[in-house]
């Protein structure tokens, strides 16, 4: 009986020792790393522990975007720290070789950019700062869908994304706090890839009034009714797009012109696809004046870079390009008229 108890106690002691040893192994803290206390987010980092904390440059190998331990060539789970002398350049968090989150720093310890993963909310947060330590980008994804995106220049908001729900939202473009354009999008998951498909693009004048409204379906302008407005906000032109090239937008089926007072000036229905139209003409009071069959293209009224485009529209395009170069390329392709139909 005594032998049995001792044996049982030994097993318990061995298990306890194993657990204690395991806890000790996993108790390596970031706070023990030299130079970490000077980092701007040290308070957030100091309590983080990991089973392994390795040197990024000497102990980790990257292959096909996966991180391996150089010593045993196993997929790395843990934290890899990159330094320049005694200054921490980055802290990278890996799971099974995949980079889950990271912090990159300026040499003075301020954050240059980061990616954080909140498991509880299933959110991915990214932020980026310029050399003056002002934020230039912030994004939040939840369950892989974009729910927030802000872009800044010199600390001023130039582009923001407002989510209405998981799939729908709106990009708004600013110049000196004035809204110059907006784009409604639909986020769709196709084969595991989230696509942002334009639904409506609106361009505004300097007075804040709507100038142009381009309607999309499945990412295309074709077969959709497009609209252009006067500075007073009244309709100027309405037509159905025949292609998906905003720079040389062709018209089919329907074309309408309006007076500044809102009354219809002309209504044309396409007779054939050979640019033949049956047109009705109205006076400013809205009364029919005459009917005529014409042979004409109406694309000049809707093409982006034609002479009838207002100076404010051209300026808005330049502002958009300057404020968001490399951001949301689909939108700028649309504005440049180079998003053609397949």
Q: What is the enclosing helix (H) or strand (E) of 12?
A: helix 2-25
Query: According to the model, what pLDDT value does residue 326 have?
Result: 35
Is the Cβ–Cβ distance between 228 and 302 less than 8 Å? Answer: yes
Lowest-pLDDT choice from 50-54, 165-169, 191-195: 191-195
Tell me what the mean pLDDT of segment 3-12 comes to.
55
Q: Is 246 in contact with 221 (CB distance < 8 Å)? A: yes
Q: What is the mean pLDDT of residues 135-155?
A: 93
Across the range 45-73, mean pLDDT stands at 95
- pLDDT of amino acid 244: 86
Residue 308, pLDDT score: 42
Q: Confirm whether 94 is domain-assigned.
A: yes
Query: Please, is 24 exposed, middle or buried when counting C-beta atoms within 10 Å of its C-beta (0-12, 13-18, 19+)?
Result: exposed
In a domain, 208, yes or no: no
Domain count, the chain: 1
What gap in Å lies between CA 100 and CA 296, rounded to an integer? 58
Residue range 17-33, pLDDT digits in tens: 544 444 444 568 899 99
Question: For 294-308, what is the mean pLDDT?
Answer: 71
Q: Would the pLDDT of 193 be above 80?
A: yes
Proportion of the chain above pLDDT 90, given as a percent: 60
321 lies in a domain?
Answer: no
**Cα–Cα distance for residue pair 148/146, rounded to 1 Å:** 6
For residue 68, pLDDT over 80 is answered with yes
Look over the chain and give the mean of its residue pLDDT values, rounded to a whole number: 84
- Would you state the pLDDT for residue 81? 97
**Chain centre distance of CA 269:** 39
CA-to-CA dists, residue 51 to 58, 92, 98, angstroms? 18, 14, 16
H/E element, 120: none
Beta bridge partners of 279: 268, 292
Q: What are the angstrom distances between the C-alpha of 202 and each of 38, 229, 250, 321?
A: 47, 11, 19, 16
Say which DSSP state 217 is in.
Answer: B
pLDDT > 70? residue 200: yes
**Domain ranges, residue 64:** 33-109
- Range in 79-83, 88-92, 304-308 the model is least confident about: 304-308
Please state, in angstroms and rounded to a whole number, the distance separating the CA atoms of residues 285 and 283. 5
CB within 8 Å of 158: residues ≥ 6 apart? 151, 152, 173, 174, 175, 323, 324
pTM as predicted: 0.75
**pLDDT at residue 268, rounded to an integer:** 95
Average pLDDT over residues 6-27: 53
In a domain, 265, yes or no: no
Q: Is residue 307 part of a domain?
A: no
Task: Determine the Cα–Cα distance for residues 328 and 217; give it in Å rounded to an integer.
Answer: 18
Asked if the model's pLDDT at residue 334 lies above 70, the reply is no
The least confident of 63-77, 179-193, 248-262 is: 179-193
Find the helix or strand (DSSP H, E) in which 8 lies: helix 2-25
Average pLDDT for 95-109: 96
In a domain, 47, yes or no: yes
Tell me what the mean pLDDT of segment 101-126 comes to: 95
The confidence score (pLDDT) of residue 207 equals: 86
Residue 204 lies in a domain: no
Q: 214-254, pLDDT tens digit by residue?
A: 999 988 899 999 999 999 999 999 999 999 887 778 899 99
Within 13 Å, how many C-alpha atoms sit on residue 161's CB side? 26
Q: Mean pLDDT, to the nearest integer, of 166-183? A: 90
Between 191 and 139, where is the model more confident? 139
Answer whether residue 40 is part of any domain. yes
Q: 3-class SS at 155?
A: coil
What per-residue confidence (pLDDT) applies to 161? 94
Contact by Cβ (8 Å): 268, 252: no
């Amino acid at each position: 009986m005594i032998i049995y108890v001792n044996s049982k106690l030994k097993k318990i002691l061995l298990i306890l020792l194993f657990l204690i040893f395991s806890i000790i192994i996993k108790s390596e803290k970031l706070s023990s790393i030299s130079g970490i206390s000077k980092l701007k987010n040290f308070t957030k980092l100091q309590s983080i522990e990991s089973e392994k904390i390795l040197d990024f440059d000497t102990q980790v190998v990257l292959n096909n975007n996966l991180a391996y331990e150089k010593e045993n060539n196993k997929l790395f789970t843990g934290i890899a720290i990159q330094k320049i002398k005694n200054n921490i350049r980055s802290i990278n968090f890996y799971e099974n070789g995949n980079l889950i989150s990271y912090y990159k720093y300026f040499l003075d310890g301020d954050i240059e950019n980061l990616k954080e993963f909140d498991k509880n909310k299933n959110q991915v947060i990214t932020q980026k700062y310029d050399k003056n330590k002002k934020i230039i980008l912030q994004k939040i994804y939840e369950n892989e869908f974009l729910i927030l995106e802000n872009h800044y220049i010199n600390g001023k908001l130039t582009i923001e994304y407002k989510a209405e729900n998981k799939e729908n939202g709106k990009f708004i473009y600013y110049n000196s706090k004035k809204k110059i354009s907006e784009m409604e999008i639909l986020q769709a998951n196709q084969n595991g890839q989230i696509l942002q498909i334009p639904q409506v693009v609106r361009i505004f004048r300097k007075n804040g009034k709507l100038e142009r409204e381009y309607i999309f379906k499945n990412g295309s302008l074709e077969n959709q009714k497009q609209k252009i407005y006067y500075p007073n906000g009244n309709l100027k032109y309405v037509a159905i797009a025949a292609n998906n090239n905003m720079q040389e937008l062709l018209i089919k089926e329907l074309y309408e012109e309006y007076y500044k007072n809102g009354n219809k000036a002309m209504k044309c229905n396409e007779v054939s696809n050979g640019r033949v139209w049956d047109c009705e003409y109205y006076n400013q009071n809205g009364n029919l004046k005459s009917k005529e069959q014409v042979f004409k293209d109406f694309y000049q009224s809707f093409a982006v870079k034609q002479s009838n485009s207002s100076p404010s529209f051209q300026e808005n395009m330049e502002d958009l390009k300057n404020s968001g170069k490399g951001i949301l390329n689909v939108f700028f392709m649309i504005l440049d008229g180079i998003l053609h139909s397949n």
